[in-house]
Amino acid sequence: MASPLILYGSLVDSISLTHLRYLSNALICINQHGIIDWLVPNVPSSSVASVLSEKGLKGTQVTQLKKGQFLSPGFIDTHTHAPQHPNLGTGGQYQLLDWLENVTFPREARFKDVDYSRKVYERVVKRTLDLGTTTSCYYGSLHLESTKVLADVVHAGGQRGFVGKCNMDSNCPSTYIEPSPSASIADTVSLISHIRSLPASSPTSTPLVQPIITPRFAISCSAPLLQGLGDLVRSEKEAGTEVAVQTHLGENHGEIAFTKEIFAGANERGGMKNGWDGSYAGVYESFGLLGERTILAHCVHLEETELQTIKRTNSGISHCPTSNLNLRSGCAKVGEMLERGIKVGLGTDCSGGYESGILSQIRSASTTSKLISMASPSSAPSSPETPPPEAATSTPRYSTLPQLPLPTLFHLATLGGASLCGLDKVVGNFEVGKEFDALLVDLGEERGNGALWFDEEEGGEEGWLEGGFEQWIWTGDDRNIAKVWVQGRLVGGKDL
């Protein structure tokens, strides 16, 4: 039997929307299946050997973290487009619909070429792992074969992920469109079985790669296609093999107007069976595509009824702040969503967003929340930055705060993202029994990030952790991510 991985040092994780946990001298044991077996905080170094003996692990090798190093849960990217990564940093002059036509569809069309796809996808998976993304929700292109390759590459790279091929049979260029609803659905079914056939790393562990049904957005899908996908979601659920869904919602004013126009027409022609409330979210709901495993990207411009629909169906929202600023889509009102108890995670939305990691999305989400409060200064006091203590057990009134507090931002990046993906019982923090998806963060100057001014002498033996963590969030980058584990396996980071 392989011996467990035992780490000894500091860690930070999210335990709720309002609370971070900082532990020093924690002894943590990860078993051979990658599961956190036990965690003992505040173990003096003189007691490490005796704790190990008590646990029946006398003499097992312990990896000791240095001062300036700590463990963080891995990041969860709840929305990204793998085939768009070669476009990163281009196209920011456009808004959504022109950007799709001029920049994005031409790039994605190239993924007909499976060899090209493999080359790109290998780089995407390696790069995002090194940036600390341990779970990623991937859109592929519309192509079945290249999206199978994406799933293979995610699996081989040891990243946790959801992989879907785009469904798109309408309002797309003739060079990049599916021929019919039935072809689109047949390819989706084929991708789902391919992904389910990928081997788990051990008989007891959760499969790392899961399928996700991916209607690109309502505009690109005919009513029969959305109906077919809704039927597929229902039949999978009835078979006990519930499958996740991801799509876009309420990103841009032109997109919303066009969506309503298209589906008002479909409704008049009797194309929408289950009743439709006239909203964009209502399109997805009427075809059975909203449920607790649905991830809705963007949600910048939502109507009251749409917020209610999302809450009622227990769907979740992927907040993609860099993309929303870059394509001038707007500022999503995350505070309002959280106040209503809607699940929210962060997404890079590459290449609508030009940054592939989640640390940068934490910063963009903060900027977005500050822009919102600056636009309505009367409702936003200048302090406090953190919720008052009485809010400890309830959700703070985010709309009265001048910005999203750090514990909330970090929650979105980790545990909140896990909930959105239906993985909050599996990953997202260091609760005993969860799988070990984690980063070893190193604030040391020798890591070469001159922007991060961490001073070992400040804060004493234990007090450095809170300040150092905050500095990492705002000035850290991949140079400070020394190791990345998924399910206890070392799969990325600068030390690999």
The 335-374 site mask, x for binding Fe ion (CB under 5 A), equals --------------x-------------------------
The residues in 251-290 that bind ligand GUN, with binding defined as CB under 6 A, are 251
Binder of residue 28, out of ligand GUN, Fe ion, none (CB less than 5 to 8 A by kind): none
| Cβ proximity to ligand GUN, 194 vs 248, nearer residue | 248
Please say whether the dihedral angle defined by the alpha carbons of residues 197, 200, 201 and 204, taken in this order, is positive or negative: negative
| Chain centroid to CA 335 | 18
Name the token pair of 349.
Answer: 């939305």
Please select the residue that binds ligand GUN; options are 9, 83, 347, 352, rule is CB under 6 A.
352
Q: Which of residues 197-226 bind ligand GUN (CB under 6 A)?
A: 216-217
* Distance of closest approach, residue 81 Cβ to Fe ion, in angstroms: 6
For residues 69-88, which are near ligand GUN according to CB under 6 A?
81
Given Fe ion, ligand GUN, none, residue 216, with its beta carbon under 5 to 8 Å by kind, binds: ligand GUN
In this chain, which stretch among 96-104, 178-186, 199-207, 416-424 interacts with ligand GUN, using CB under 6 A?
96-104
> Taking CB under 6 A as the rule, does residue 37 contact ligand GUN?
no
Residue 315's binding partner out of Fe ion, ligand GUN, none, with CB under 5 to 8 Å set by partner kind = none
* Binding site partner of 148, from ligand GUN, Fe ion, none, Cβ cut-off 5-8 A by kind: none
CB of 154 within 8 A of CB of 129?
A: no
- Residue among 67 and 143 whose Cβ is closer to ligand GUN: 143
Residue 194 and residue 140 in contact, taking contact as beta carbons nearer than 8 Å: no
Q: What is the rounded (10 degree) CA torsion for 82, 87, 92, 96?
A: -50
Smallest gap from Cβ 269 to Fe ion, in A, equals: 29
Compute the least distance from the CB of residue 301 to ligand GUN, in Å.
13
- Which of 33, 67, 148, 248 is the binder for ligand GUN (CB under 6 A)? 248
- Residue 94 or residue 454: which is nearer to ligand GUN going by CB? 94
C-beta of residue 440 within 8 angstroms of C-beta of residue 482:
yes
Residues 321-350 touching ligand GUN, rule: CB under 6 A, are 323, 349
Minimum distance, C-beta of residue 162 to ligand GUN, in the bound complex (Å): 16
Q: Parallel, antiparallel, or unpaired for β 20-30 and 36-40? A: antiparallel
Q: Which of residues 393-432 bind Fe ion (CB under 5 A)?
A: none
Judged by beta carbon distances under 5 to 8 A according to partner kind, the member of Fe ion, ligand GUN, none in contact with residue 104 is: ligand GUN
Distances (CA, A) of 207 to 77, 133, 145, 487: 18, 17, 21, 10
Q: Rank residues 51 and 213 by Cβ distance to ligand GUN and give the closer one.
A: 213
- Please state the separation of Cα 235 from the chain's center in Å: 26
The contact set with Fe ion (CB under 5 A) reads 349
The contact set with ligand GUN (CB under 6 A) reads 81, 96, 100, 104, 216-217, 248, 251, 323, 349, 352
